[in-house]
Structure 1
Amino acid sequence: MVDDAAGPNPRTDPGDPLNPHEPRSIGPYALISRLGVGGMGTVYLARNTAGRRVAVKVIRPDLAADEEFRRRFRAEVEAARRVAPFCTAEVLDADPNAPAPYLVTEFIDGVRLDEQVDSGPLASSTLTGLAVGVATALTAIHSAGLVHRDLKPSNVMLSLSGPRVIDFGIAQALEGAKAKPTAWGFGSAGWMAPEQVHGRPIGPEADVFAWGILIAYAGTGRHPFGDGSDIDLGMRIVGAAPDLRGLREPLVGLVSAALAKHPDDRPSARELLLRLIAQPPARGGPALGPAIGPAIGQVEELLNRTGEVPRPAPTRVGPVTSAPARRAPWDGAGPAARPAGPPGRA
C-alpha cells in the first residue's frame, strides 16, 4: 500500500527530515527525506507517481549554472541509461535541462559497505559475493563507455538482493566543470589509482585498481595502503606494495593483479569476473551467496553481451587487530546488523 503523505516513515524510510528551505518535490517526484550531500549535489529519497521509492540526485546550483557542466551532464546521463542493471542502481529518469538538473535512480535499501566493515571484515563467502557483484557492476558500466571514477565503500550498498554499486555515470561531468578538486584531483583520497593521483588520463583500469583496494579493505577490515593523511596515502598508492595479509586465494591473487601500478598490467573488469565465477566455492559457504548464485545466468548474459567491451575515452584529472568476520544481508545468515544512523546514498 502506498502512503498518501510524502513525509518520511521513521520505521521504513531512511534519511534526515527535509528542512523548511528544501523543496517538497522535484519534477514529478515527491521528496520524502534527505539521504546525503555529496560533491555534486544532494540526494533525496522520493516517491514517483506510482508510489515507488526512488533516489533523486539534485545538482548544486553553482554547477547547474555552468554550461560546460550541463553539456557533459547530458552526455553522461545518456551513457548511464545504457548501463545494464546488473549489480548497479538502475538509472530511471533525468532532466538535465531543468533549472535544478536531477538524476533519478533505483533506490537501494541496505547498508553501506563502510558501515558494515566498521563491525569487522566480511566472511569468506560474503567477500566472494562482493567481489563478483562489484566486478559485474564495473563490467556493465565499462561496456556502456563509462568509468565510475569514484568507487569506494560508501558507493557500494549491501542489500538483500546482493551488492549494488551506486553513484556512477556523472563524475566526468564534474571534472569538466568549474569545481574544486581534492588535493589529488577529482575522486576520493585513498581510493584512486596511481595514474589518478598523478593527474594523468584515466580509463577503466582506474576502476579495477579501486576494486582491488575495496576487496582488500572488505576482507581484512583495513586499507591495503595504511592510513594517515591524504598525501601519505597517495604516495603509498603510487610507490608502495599493498598489505594483503589476511586475504586468501584466489582473491589475493586477483587483488594483487588489480593493484598493479601500471594500468596496462591490470586485468579488465570482465577478466576479473570470468576468473571469479570459475573459482570453486569458498570454505564456509557458497561462493556467491544465495542471492548472487541464482543470478549467475544474468552474469553470463552480461559476459556474452560484453565480449568486446568498448573502451571509454580516457579522462584527464587534476594532479593530485582483526574483528569477527561479518556476513552481508544476502549471505543467508539473516539480516546484517544495521549500524546506527541512516545509510547514505550521496
Structure 2
Amino acid sequence: MGKVPLVLCRFVRGVSMGDIDPGALPTGVRSAILKKVVDAECVISHAGLRHGDYFPSNIILSGNDPADTDLTSKSVETCLKVKVIDFNIAEVLTHPFYEYREWHLANSVWSKLPSPIVRFNGIMEHFFGWIPLEDANRWL
C-alpha cells in the first residue's frame, strides 16, 4: 500500500490577531504581543520552514483575552500564547526535494535564533498599527 499524505487539524481556541484593533490596546501590551509574534516566526524559520503567509489573520492569541482592559505587558509574557496557523503554502527548506536545499544548508549559519532585524527588515506592513510609529526603529 502506498503512502497517503495526512493533514492533522487541531482546534485552537483564541482570537485571531487580525480581528483585534491594536489601537485599542496599551502600547506595552501591543509590543509584548508583537514580540511573541516575531519570536514565533524566528523559531519557525530557524526550524527550516518558510511560512509564506505570515499575517495577523494567521496568528491566534490564546490564553488571556487580548481585549481585556486589565491585561498588562507582564501578563502577556506569562499568560498569552501565540499560535501560528495556515501552513498550507509553507516550504520545508531542508526537505531533500526542495529546489534550493543546498543553498539553504550552506547559508544556514545560525546556531541560535536570528535577530528580528534580520528576519523582518522592511516586511512589517501587515502588522501596521501593532508597532507604535514613534518607536518603530527603536523597537527592533
Give the TM-score normalised by the residue count of structure 1. Answer: 0.24
Does 2:49 correspond to 1:163? no
For residue 113 of structure 1, what is the amino acid of its counterpart?
Answer: M
Query: For 2:119 and 2:53, how far apart are their aligned partners in 1?
Result: 8
Q: Is the 8 A contact 1:108 1:157 kept in 2?
A: yes
Are the counterparts in 2 of residues 155 and 166 from structure 1 also a CA contact under 8 Å?
yes
Q: Over residues 10-31 of structure 1, what are the superposed CA-to-partner deviations in whole Å (9 max), with x where a residue is unaligned?
A: xxxxxxxxxxxxxxxxxxxxxx
SS of the aligned residue for 1:158 comes to: strand
Matched, 1:153 2:37: no
Give the match for residue 127 of structure 2: 215
Per-residue deviation, 1:210: 7.5
Deviation string for 1:322-344 (max 9, x for gaps)?
xxxxxxxxxxxxxxxxxxxxxxx
- Separation in 2 of the partners of 1:154 and 1:114? 4
Contact 1:147/1:169 (<8 A) preserved: no
Higher-Rg structure is 1
Deviation at 1:254, TM superposition (A): 5.2
Residue 209 of structure 1: how far off its partner (Å): 5.0
Structure holding more helix per residue: 2
**2:50 maps to 1:141:** no
Give the superposition deviation at 1:143.
1.1
Partner of 2:11: 107
Structure 1 alignment gaps of length 5 or more = 1-96, 174-203, 220-245, 256-271, 273-346
Q: Which has the higher contact order (CA 8 A, sep 6+)?
A: 2
Alignment of 1:252-331 (within 5 A): 252-253=136-137
Q: Which has more strand, going by share of residues?
A: 1
Write the distance in 1 (CA, Å) between the matches of 2:57 and 2:81: 15
Which residue identity does 1:167 align to in structure 2? Answer: D
What does residue 248 of structure 1 align with?
134
Question: Map of 1:1-346 to 2, 5 A cutoff?
Answer: 97-98=3-4, 101-117=5-21, 120-160=23-63, 161-168=80-87, 170-172=89-91, 208-209=120-121, 212-219=124-131, 247-249=133-135, 252-253=136-137
Secondary structure class of the residue paired with 2:54? coil
* 1:253-311 superposed Cα distances (whole Å, 9 cap, x missing partner): 057xxxxxxxxxxxxxxxx5xxxxxxxxxxxxxxxxxxxxxxxxxxxxxxxxxxxxxxx
Aligned residues: 99
